[in-house]
């Protein structure tokens, strides 16, 4: 698969994710067990570890399906 098809595919995936973002927020994505959130008086730290792993797995599967040919 050439670079043009990969970039177009990534663009389409990002577009779809952008359109579905309100639904994804309601589903709890970003507030899963394993996501690290620390809130202090003058400090907030948030690292969506579990969410990042799930997104990585899904994107890897999508890329694998397109590269199988």
Map out the domains of the chain as residue ranges: 3-67
**Tokens 């927020």 appear where?**
25
For 1-14, the pLDDT digits (tens) are 688 888 888 899 88
* pLDDT at 38 (0 to 100): 92
Instruction: Report the pLDDT averaged over residues 62-67.
Output: 85
Q: What is the pTM of this model?
A: 0.61
Q: Where are the beta strands (DSSP E) in the chain?
A: 36-39, 44-47
For 35-47, the pLDDT digits (tens) are 999 999 999 999 9
CA-to-CA dists, residue 53 to 5, 8, 22, 35, 66, angstroms: 25, 23, 20, 10, 20
């Amino acid at each position: 698969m050439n670079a043009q098809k990969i970039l177009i595919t990534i663009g389409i995936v990002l577009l779809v994710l952008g359109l579905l973002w309100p639904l994804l927020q309601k589903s709890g994505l970003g507030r899963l067990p394993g996501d690290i959130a620390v809130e202090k008086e003058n400090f907030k730290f948030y690292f969506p570890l579990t969410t990042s792993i799930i997104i990585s797995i899904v994107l890897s599967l999508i890329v694998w399906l397109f590269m199988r040919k």
